[in-house]
Every structure is written in structure tokens, then in C-alpha cells.
Amino acid sequence: MLILGVETSCDETSASVVEDGAIVRSNVISSQVEFHRPYGGVVPEVASRKHLELINPVIEESLAEAGVGFEDIGAVAVTIGPGLIGALLVGLAAAKAIAYTLDVPLIGVNHLEAHIRANFLEDPALRPPLVALLVSGGHTILAVMDESGRLTTLGETLDDAAGEAYDKIARFLGLAYPGGPEIDRLAALGDAKKVILPRAMIDRDDYAFSLSGLKTAVLNYVSKLEKQGQEIPLNDLAAGFQAAVIDVQVAKTMRAAKEYGVKNIVLAGGVAANAGLRAALKEAADEKGIKLNAPTLELCTDNAAMIASLGYEYLKEGKTIDMTANSDANLPLSS
Ligand code: KG4
Ligand code: ZN
């Protein structure tokens, strides 16, 4: 069974053909980053327009790369939410048109659940129960998946998402957009011990996160040095910031793994590409005999392969949608 996946929730237009939920035949990702860079963040209106321009060529390319035609597609899976509403609607309209024309099932996939699913796509031997840390431009969520695959959110950020904090700090420091990879790169060159920043909520015995205080701490640190006429130690500051983010994420993820007695942890979302986070979580997990899965970069970022793959599971459960379905900008992870 070939499923065509369509993903347009944010600033990547992506289409993919996945066989039986497991074999990625194509995964075309067209990033709009260059169009949003001048603004230092994703502009929703720009994103919607670009999706409109790109959606048909990207879908055609995904079929061509897979070496198949529309007539070979058995179902269409599309991101239904969460995300930018105008962006989501472009993907949904395209998916509806294709499913209607081909007379095949239409599947509405939860984008957050799909990010977690990317781990199963890469490692077919992976089995729940597990704890998932989902960190992206829009989300910071810690969740547990039980043996049956059911997801429950344990906690999330009370203010900024992880990627949002990275991007805002990078912008403040005059670094290129998107800021996450830039800070990650500089952090590797710096010494985190030279700039100690607050680890918000690390001692609280819940799974909530907060990143806005850390952002303020960075601003205060920089303005203090500037007042003293001192140079900003960019690498050390990046390292200090990244360590503060990672310490909290690792501490809470490991605590959740202990509380729920799981032997698997998975990383998901764009920030899961962070080298520092991967290394720190791997070290902590190894120490406890826990296996850490983290998708390759292509499957960390927004992509339609994860949508098509999870769509296959939905289809097996009979979870399809009809032509009246609407996108949901605020769809939660566990619903
Ligand atoms: O999942 P994603 O592609 O889009 C959303 O659904 O949000 O995540 C994008 C986010 C951006 O904020 C970007 O700065 C961040 O992921 N990111 C990183 C790294 N690579 C991407 N953050 C930290 N370190 C990285 N290496
Ligand atoms: Zn995403």
C-alpha cells in the first residue's frame, strides 16, 4: 500500500510516498527558510503563499522520485494540525482534491504525533513503552507512550518553545536565522562553565518547562557587559545558554523515564537535531541502560514521510476523514 503524505504546517512544503508505513520511497522537502530569513522568523502570510506555489510541484516531484503515478496511490495522509492555519489549509485542500479524484481514503494526521513516529520509521524494531521529548519551533512537550502506543502528555512549556527560544536569542545576538543550528555550532566552540545561566524549573517535581526567564537572563548578561564596555564572549554565551536548556530537558526526561519505568527514550522535532542535546541525553540514558532513539536530521525537521507513515497506522485503525474535515491550528498531542 502506497500512501502519499502531505505536510504544510509551518514553513516546509513536503510530500512523500511511503510503502506500508515503513519504506520511504521519496521524501521531498522544500524549505522556505530563505523567504522568512529577512524577518527573523516565519511570517504566516508568506508561508501560506509559498505553500500555494510549491504544493503541486512538490507532490509531483515526490511521485516522480518514488517512480510511481497518481494511479498507484492507495490513500492520502495530510497534516491536520497543529500549525499555522493558512499553511495547514493549503495542504488539506490539495490532499482532499487528490483523494477525491482518485477515490481513495483521506487521513488527517496529528503533526506532533508524527514527529514521534519518525523514530519508528527509522528503527522498525523500536517498541513502546517509551518517553518522548518533542522539541521544535512551536513545542516543548514531554510525553509517555504506553505499550499500546497511546500517548499521554506529561508536561509542556509554559511560555516559549525550545526552538523559539533558540531563534529569539540568536536574533538578539545578531546570528543568522534559523538560530538553533547557529547556536548549536557556536556552543561547541565555547565553554559553558564560563557563563552560568538559570536552569528554570529543574527542581520542580512536574514536567513543565519555562524558557522565557532564560531569555531575559541572556539579555541582562549582554546588557551588563555592554555597559562595562566589554566584548560579548559569543561562543561561551552560546554554550552557557545551550547547557541551561539541555540540563533541564535531560533532567526531566530522565525523571519521566524512571517514573514510568521505560527502557526507551525518543527525541523528536526540529530541535532534536541539536548536537549538544543528543550527546547529553545519550550519556544520561546510557548510564541507566536506556536506549535513546533520535531521528536523522531529515526526519527531525518537518517532513511528509512521518505523516504518510503515521497515516498508515491511522488507516489500519479506520481513522479516516471526509471532505468536510477542517484543519485544527491548536490540535493537542494527545487527543
Ligand atoms: O520541527 P521544526 O522543523 O519545525 C516546527 O515544527 O517547529 O523545528 C524548527 C526549529 C527551529 O526553531 C530551529 O531553530 C530549531 O528547530 N533547530 C535547532 C537545531 N536545528 C533546528 N535548534 C537547536 N539546535 C539545532 N541544531
Ligand atoms: Zn514540526
**What is the per-residue pLDDT across 139-192, written as a single tens digit (0 to 9) for each?**
999 999 999 999 999 999 999 999 999 999 999 999 998 999 999 999 999 999
Contact between 79 and 91 under an 8 Å Cβ cutoff? The reply is yes
Cα-based distances in Å from 100 to 70, 237, 313: 12, 53, 21
Whole-number Å distance, alpha carbon 75 to ligand 1 midpoint, is: 29
**Which pLDDT belongs to residue 335?**
57
Whole-number Å distance, alpha carbon 289 to ligand 2 midpoint, is: 29
Mean of pLDDT over the chain: 96
Contact between 299 and 306 under an 8 Å Cβ cutoff? The reply is yes
pLDDT in tens, 46-103: 899 999 999 999 999 999 999 999 999 999 999 999 999 999 999 999 999 999 999 9
Q: 316 Cβ partners below 8 Å, 6+ apart? A: none
**Which 8-state DSSP code applies to residue 138?**
S
Ligand 1, residue 301: give the atom nearest the CA: 3
pLDDT-derived band at 290 (thresholds 50, 70, 90) equals very high
Angle between helices 275-287 and 179-187 (to 10 degrees): 60
- d(C-alpha 228, C-alpha 95), whole Å: 57
CA-based nearest residue to 126, from 135, 117, 113: 117
**Which among 79, 141, 157, 166 is the best mutation to test ligand 1's pocket, defined by most ligand atoms within 8 Å of the CB?**
166
Torsion angles phi and psi, residue 49, rounded to 5: -65, -40
Residues 326-332 have a mean pLDDT of 97
User: What percent of the chain stands above pLDDT 90?
Assistant: 92
DSSP 267-299: EESGGGG-HHHHHHHHHHHHHTT-EEE---HHH
**Which pLDDT belongs to residue 221?**
97
Bridge partners, residue 81, by sequence: 110
Helices of type H across 17-124? 33-36, 44-66, 85-102, 111-122
Ligand 1, residue 83: give the atom nearest the CA: 6
User: What percent of the chain stands above pLDDT 70?
Assistant: 100
Ligand closest to 137 (CA) is 1
Domain annotation for the chain: domains and CATH numbers? 2-115+299-316 (3.30.420.40), 128-294 (3.30.420.40)
Measured by CA distance, the residue closest to atom 10 of ligand 1 is 137
Whole-number Å distance, alpha carbon 302 to ligand 2 midpoint, is: 5
Measured by CA distance, the residue closest to atom 2 of ligand 1 is 270
Q: Which helix (H) or strand (E) holds 11?
A: none
**Which among 301, 303, 306, 331 is the best mutation to test ligand 1's pocket, defined by most ligand atoms within 8 Å of the CB?**
301
pTM for this predicted structure: 0.95
Whole-number Å distance, alpha carbon 271 to ligand 1 midpoint, is: 4
Whole-number Å distance, alpha carbon 194 to ligand 2 midpoint, is: 33
Is the per-residue pLDDT at 32 higher than 90? no
The angle subtended at Cα 131 by Cα 156 and Cα 316, nearest 5°, is 100
pLDDT in tens, 211-268: 999 999 999 999 999 999 999 999 999 999 999 999 999 999 999 999 999 999 999 9
CA-based nearest residue to 314, from 18, 77, 23, 6: 77
- d(C-alpha 13, C-alpha 6), whole Å: 8
Residues 120-146 have a mean pLDDT of 96
Q: 194 Cβ partners below 8 Å, 6+ apart? A: 233, 236, 239, 240
Residues with a CB atom less than 6 Å from ligand 1? 10, 136-138, 163, 166-167, 178-181, 184, 269-271, 273-274, 301-302
